[in-house]
């Protein structure tokens, strides 16, 4: 066998998101892209802000000396300083350049963090519904994923967190705003989570790191603001990317930010820098570091995603689908009208609407819709959802 049995098994259980995307590509070849309504993958719709595109153009037209050469593995110091200034202003906590490591997106950053922190067998708490790649990221570095179910409204269930914590717990990953639900973990839940983790550390004398995957931090609606774990828990780490907020998913640019108050903060940063190199990333892309440095307080027009959320949410509710209204990101996560979410998704697929079954996010009997699509695609898909709702008698 040319590949390891471990990887073969992982591929067979691989992300439903990618599986539906690939099936969509096949369908488009069969019936034409204009006849397939692909709501399966969170591929950002909006283009980078005009100022950022101009910055990239200027960098290429007027290159600085050694602009494409290696730099320190943690990233350019001046870029890290710009990111630190963003966190200082947002949180009121004094961040410096040495608290930041530039990474190849949030995915790269999460792998760097887990590689640095985990001993074989260490446990990582993740909350269902979860981003399915977390399971692979934890496995990549010898850890064990422990899934904690959320409440019916997808908020954190603090009692279940207490029950899941053990003397092997090393990391707790939160994802706010959440993919696939769009739920924000606000002040109350972050504070309650911090209290539980502080008490667990006191009892066990072992440090647990709270890692927030904040890839959608700036994609929030109705005037809300995302909460920073740094404000509640000193052993906090944020991993994020500019894939969504600046429309740069394919450019793979993000960073890790470590609380200045964290235990052994210097050792953490040194470890992240080392793993950034030895995992093969070496450093975040040089051009993109320079491009995003001055755009830490900028994002795409969130109102464009909110319009789509409102249209889709209101339409599906009128049809009888049951769901929690998302507060951020660009997904809806309704309950399926039958218990078998895969069968329901296949029914939609036959009508050329592609969504992702909830089982892929650790929460069966639901399905995820990405509304990061052109409005005309969404409108045509809505008519299919209506047709299917009538078939189920919703």
pLDDT digits 0-9 by tens, 90-127: 999 999 999 999 999 999 999 999 999 999 999 999 99
Phi first, then psi: give them for residue 240, nearest 5 degrees.
-150, 175
Domain boundary among 240, 262, 295: 295
Cα angle 129, 302, 174 (rounded to 5 degrees) comes to: 25
DSSP line for 19-57: HHHHHHHHHHHHH-GGG-EE-SS----SPPPHHHHHHHH
Tens-binned pLDDT, residue by residue, of the chain (394 aa): 688 877 776 766 666 666 777 777 788 788 877 788 999 988 999 999 999 999 999 999 999 899 999 999 999 999 999 999 999 999 999 999 999 999 999 999 999 999 999 999 999 999 999 999 999 999 999 999 999 999 999 999 999 999 999 999 999 999 999 999 999 999 999 999 999 999 999 999 999 999 999 999 999 999 999 999 999 999 999 999 999 999 999 999 999 999 999 999 999 999 999 999 999 999 999 999 999 999 999 999 999 999 999 999 999 999 999 999 999 999 999 999 999 999 999 999 999 999 999 999 999 999 999 999 999 999 999 999 999 999 999 8
Strands (E), the chain: 37-38, 100-103, 123-128, 144-149, 169-175, 209-213, 236-241, 254-258, 331-332, 353-354, 356-357, 367-370
Domain for residue 197, yes or no? yes
**Count: domains in the chain:** 2
Beta strands (DSSP E) in 110-192 are 123-128, 144-149, 169-175
CA neighbours within 13 Å on the CB side: how many for 14? 11
Q: What does the angle CA 342 – CA 348 – CA 350 come to, to the nearest 5 degrees?
A: 105
Pick from 69, 74, 97, 67: nearest CA to 85: 97
Calpha distance 391→112 (Å, rounded): 47
Domain end call among 265, 295, 325? 295
Same domain, 312 and 200: no
* Angstrom distance (rounded) from CA 277 to CA 176: 28
Instruction: Say if residue 98 is in the same domain as residue 242.
Output: yes
Q: Is 50 exposed, middle or buried (0-12, 13-18, 19+ CB in 10 A)?
A: exposed
* Residues 258 and 279 grouped into a single domain: yes
**Residue positions counted in the chain:** 394
pTM tops 0.85, yes or no: yes
Question: In the structure encoding, which two tokens stand for residue 57, read together?
Answer: 């153009």
3-state SS, residue 294: helix
190 and 310 inside one domain: no
- Domain extent for 180: 67-295
Boundary-marking domain end, from 263, 295, 327: 295
- Do residues 284 and 331 both lie within one domain? no
Interatomic CA distance for residues 381 and 36, integer angstroms: 9
Instruction: Please give the distance of CA 304 from its chain centroid, rounded to a whole number.
Output: 19
Cα 372 from Cα 243, distance rounded (Å): 13
Residues 359 and 258 in one domain: no
């Amino acid at each position: 066998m040319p590949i390891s049995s471990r990887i073969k098994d992982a591929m067979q259980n691989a992300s439903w998101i990618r599986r539906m995307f690939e099936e969509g590509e096949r369908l488009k070849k069969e019936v034409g892209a204009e006849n397939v309504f692909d709501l399966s993958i969170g591929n950002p719709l909006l283009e980078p802000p005009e100022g950022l595109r101009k910055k990239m153009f200027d960098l290429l037209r007027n290159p600085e000396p050694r602009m494409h050469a290696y730099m320190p593995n943690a990233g350019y110091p001046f870029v890290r300083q710009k990111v630190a200034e963003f966190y200082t202003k947002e949180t009121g906590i004094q961040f410096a350049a040495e608290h930041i490591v530039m990474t190849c997106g949030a995915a790269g950053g999460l792998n760097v963090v887990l590689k640095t922190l985990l001993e074989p067998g260490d446990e990582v708490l993740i909350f269902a519904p979860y981003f399915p790649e977390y399971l692979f990221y934890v496995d990549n570095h010898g850890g064990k994923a422990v899934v904690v179910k959320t409440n019916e409204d997808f908020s954190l269930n603090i009692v279940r967190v207490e029950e899941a914590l053990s003397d092997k717990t090393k990391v707790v990953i939160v994802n706010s705003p959440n993919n696939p639900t769009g739920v924000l973990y606000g002040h109350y839940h972050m504070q309650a989570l911090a209290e539980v983790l502080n008490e667990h550390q006191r009892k066990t004398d072992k440090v647990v790191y709270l890692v927030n995957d904040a890839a959608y931090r700036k994609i929030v609606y109705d005037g809300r603001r995302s909460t920073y774990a740094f404000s509640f828990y000193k052993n906090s780490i944020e991993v994020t990317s500019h894939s969504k907020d600046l429309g740069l998913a394919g450019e793979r640019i993000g960073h890790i930010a470590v609380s200045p108050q964290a235990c052994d903060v210097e050792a953490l940063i040194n470890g992240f820098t080392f793993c950034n190199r030895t995992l093969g990333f070496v450093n975040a892309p040089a051009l993109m570091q320079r491009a995003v440095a001055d755009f830490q307080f900028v994002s795409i027009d969130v109102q464009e995603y909110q319009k789509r959320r409102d249209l889709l949410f209101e339409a599906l509710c009128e049809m009888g689908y049951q769901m929690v209204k998302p507060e951020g990101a660009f997904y809806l996560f309704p309950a399926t009208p039958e218990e078998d979410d895969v069968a329901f998704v296949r029914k939609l697929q036959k009508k050329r609407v592609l969504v992702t079954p909830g089982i892929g996010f650790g929460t069966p009997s639901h399905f995820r819709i990405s509304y990061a699509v052109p409005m005309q695609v969404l409108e045509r898909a809505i008519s299919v959802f209506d047709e299917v709702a009538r078939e189920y008698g919703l």
